[in-house]
Chain A
Amino acid sequence: MPDPITVVVNGQEREFGGEMSLTDLLQALDLDPQAVVVELNKEIVRRPALGDTTVRNGDQVELVHFVGGG
C-alpha cells in the first residue's frame, strides 16, 4: 500500500492515497487538463508534461483558469 500524501491545492489541504501524476490529480478533482493551467511548487508544468510529473507529500499545487475581468 502506498503512503497517503497531503497536498495543498489552491490553498486547501487535500489528502490523496499516494504519490501520483498531475494528470491523475486533475482526474481525481474532476478537472479537464485542457481547461486549467497547473503550477507545481510555483513552477508551471506544461500540459504535455502533466502525465510525467509526480505529486509528492507536501507539494503545493495551483490550478488556474480564466474568469471575468477588465
Chain B
Amino acid sequence: MSTTAAAAVDQPLVIGGREFQSRLMVGTGKYADNDTMVRAIDASGAEIVTVAVRRVDLDRTKEEGILFHLDPKKYFLLANTAGCYTAEEAIRYARLAREAGFNEFIKLEVIGDQETLLPDVEGLLESARTLVKEGFHVMAYTNEDLITALKLEDAGCAAIMPLASPIGSGLGLINPYTVRTIKRRLGAPVIVDAGVGTASDACVTMEQGVDGILMNTAIAAAQDPVAMAHAMGRAVEAGRLAYLAGRMPRREIAIPSSPTTGMLD
C-alpha cells in the first residue's frame, strides 16, 4: 500500500498509545471465502483487522477459526462485541476476547435495535466505564450524537467510533456536520465505523477530518472485493490528504482560471 505520500505530510494514527500507519481498518465478516478475504485485506493496506468472538463449532461442520487464515503477527487484531444487546453481555465478550491473548483493545458494540443495529447508548456508556476500569482500550461504536461521544471520551475511551450510516447499509456519510462536530470537539481519535458503501463515501468521510474509517461490508460485498479494497485504501488516503491540504473556498459564481487580459480584438 502506498502510505508514503500520506506519511510525508501526516502524523501516524495513535490509539491507546499504539501507532498505526494506515487509517483504514477492515472487518473480516461476510466474505464469500477466506482466500478472497485474505487478498482483500492485503490489498486494503489495513493494519487493524476486526474479528468477532463466537462459540467453537464442536462438530467441525463450519469453518476453522479466523486465525487459521490471518497471521496475528502481520495484523493488529481488534476483537468486537458485535451481537451484544446489553452491557453485561458486551463485558463478557470483551473479557473473553482479551483472554485470547492478543491485546487489550476492544471494539465495543452494544446494539439497541435489531432492524437498524443502532447502538444502545446507555448500555454502551455503562460497559465502556467498566471496561476502561479493567484496563481495556475501548473503541466505542456509537451514533453521531456529540453528547454521547463526549461522555464516552470522558469515560476514558481510546477512540470514539460514530457511524456514517447503519451497519451494512452502504448509505454513506449521512450527516457530515455531526461527524465533523464530534471530531472538532473531541481530543480522542474519531474513527468512523459503519455505513460506507463505496470509495467516494470513504473519501468524503476522511475529508471531514476524522482520524480513520472502519469498514467491512463495503469491501466484502463488492462484486470484486479485492479491487474494492484497493480503491478504499486509496480513497482513505486521498480524503486524508485533501483534508490536510485544505480545500478551496466554495463560491456561488464562477471565476475564470485563465487570464481575462491578452485577449484578441
Contact = CB atoms under 8 A, between A and B. Distances in A.
Nearest to B100: A37
A35 B56 CA distance: 10
B96 A63 contact: no
Contact of B77 (A11, A29, A37, A66): A66
Interface residues of B, number: 36
A69 interface: yes
B216 A67 contact: no
Nearest to B218: A70
Interface string B87-115: 00000100111011100000000000000
Contact of B66 (A12, A44, A47, A66): A66
A45 B94 CA distance: 15
Contact of B54 (A35, A39, A47, A65): A65
B96 A68 contact: no
B65 interface: yes
B58 interface: yes
Interface of B: 27-31, 37, 50-56, 58, 63, 65-67, 77, 79-80, 82, 92, 95-97, 99-101, 167-168, 194, 214-217
7 contacts: A31-B56, A65-B65, A65-B67, A66-B54, A66-B97, A67-B51, A70-B50
Interface of A: 9-12, 29, 31, 35-37, 39, 42, 44, 46-47, 62-70
